[in-house]
Structure 1
Amino acid sequence: MTALSPSPDAAAHPSRHNAWLLLPVALALLVSGWQPYDRATWWLEVAPVLIAAPVLVASHRRFPLTPLLATLIAVHALILIYGGAYTYARVPLGYWMQSLWDGSRNPYDRIGHLAQGFVPALVAREILVRRGLQAGPWLLSFLCLCVAEAISAWYELIEWGAAVALQQGADAFLGSQGDPWDTQEDMACAGLGALLALTLLRRWHDRQLTAIKVTTPRRAG
């Protein structure tokens, strides 16, 4: 069982499981920050990790996340850190994917934007359910999808602001690689990621919410 895979009894001890997830993330952050391709881009790409990690650590006793969600957040952090080390347009995994699919661009940034929808949708679902939102499963999923897309839209606005402020220095952060529809495709990937998470992981998430004594939304019908 790897550090990023929830153990069978992880839901019974979420804080212990979630604490172990900090180790691979912290190690990856240190390694990626040693000699990144572009230091300014590295800071911009890993900024969400540097912001989220202290918040999660500070709130883990009062609001421990389900092991499923904590694991997904850790995976998302590793995706961001890996992209920050090389910049998204130069990630080796992306070059391999580009040659495999005979593509015209390094597609690693699409993985990042899929995760940008996949993980926030589950974050929104966990918060809404645990705060007692009275909504059927369809309405709950719709609200979580809206939250994920809103986060994606704000991220695109942040990228635009960085491009305006930094001029040419923001090209690596934008990672558009000459694609005029990059912003729209990024948001579409986030929406697809959110839909996949809400469709594939709903039952698993409900079981873990129940395991930490959280009332799940009542299913219609």
Structure 2
Amino acid sequence: MLLNQQFYTGSGALLLLLLWSAVAPFDRTTWLLEIFPVLLAWPLLWWTRKSYPLTPLLYALILLHALVLILGGAYSYARVPLGFWLMDWFALERNPYDKIGHLMQGFAPVLVAREILLRGAYIWGQRMLNFLLLCIVLAISATYELIEWAAAVLLGQGADEFLGTQGYAWDTQADMGFALLGAILALLLLSRWHDRQLAQLAVT
């Protein structure tokens, strides 16, 4: 019951954020491209909330990841206010919000993959599990970079806001590096918490 309440509360907050972001985004095409993963993932989570409920930790991380995507879509990644604050605090030359997005691209999906692999008992052994999880995250990151490349080819200069490179020549490699870093941090910081919630979910 508590998990259902949390899920419905999170869904309501997500809907409000999506509506807010849709009112006057910086660029409508960029907004749609950035929030598209949210439009795919959350209906799937709603549909499977009873047949395959996830741990509360994972739902919270997915919601946080969705928030990062929605803000990036509303402002464009190079113009999110949080990024400008970080620029001032750390004396950076570029708005780093794009890197927060790619950090989350590893941080949340690695636990999605971990939950699926562990609940399905698809693999045994912690080292091999972690190795495969990092491979999965890098595959997701590389796929996203290919999508960005396709958008650049199809949209031309219109894809600049979606890409968010801000003139950085090594943006693609840095994006994948931050996704890998996010995955490593999530495994180091959250694995035990995740294990406890998985055990509780199995009992429930």
TM tier, shorter chain?
A: over 0.9
Task: Please give the residue correspondences for 1:202-217 in structure 2 after superposition, counting only pairs within 5 Å.
Answer: 202-213=191-202
Q: How far 1:13 moved relative to its partner?
A: 4.1
Q: Take 1:95 and 1:134, find their aligned partners in 2: how far apart are those partners?
A: 43
State the alpha-carbon separation in 2 of the partners of residues 138 and 201 from structure 1: 16
Structure 1 range deviating more: 192-201 or 133-142: 133-142
Checking the alignment, whether the CA contact within 8 Å between 1:145 and 1:191 is kept in structure 2 is yes
How far apart are 1:24 and its partner, in Å? 1.3
Structure 2 counterpart of 1:60, from 38, 49, 71? 49
Q: 2:107 aligns with which of 103, 109, 118?
A: 118
- Partner SS state of residue 50, structure 2: coil
The structural deviation recorded for 1:16 is: 3.1
> Which consecutive residues of structure 1, in runs of 5 or more, have no partner in the other structure?
1-11, 215-221
Alpha-carbon distance in 2 for matches of 1:181, 1:134: 35
Q: Does 1:88 align with 2:65?
A: no
**RMSD of Structure 2 on Structure 1 (CA):** 1.1
State the SS of the aligned residue for 2:23.
coil
Between 128-137 and 13-22, report the one with greater CA deviation.
13-22
From 114, 122, 130, the equivalent of 2:119 is 130
Q: Deviations over 1:86-128 (max 9, x none)?
A: 0000111101111111111100001000000000000000000
Q: 2:123 & 2:104 partners in 1: Cα distance? A: 27
Q: Tell me the alpha carbon deviations over residues 65-101 of structure 1, each in whole angstroms, 9 at most, x when there is no partner.
A: 1000000000000000011100000111101111111
Tell me what 2:172 maps to.
Answer: 183
Identical-residue share of aligned pairs (%)? 57
Tell me whether 1:196 sits opposite 2:185 in the alignment.
Answer: yes
CA distance in 2, matches of 1:15, 1:143: 31
Deviations 1:137-184 (A, max 9, x none): 111111111111111110000000000000000000000000000000
Partner Cα distance (2:52, 2:171) in 1: 36
Quote the residue 1:29 is aligned against: 18
Query: By percentage of residues, which structure has more helix?
Result: 2
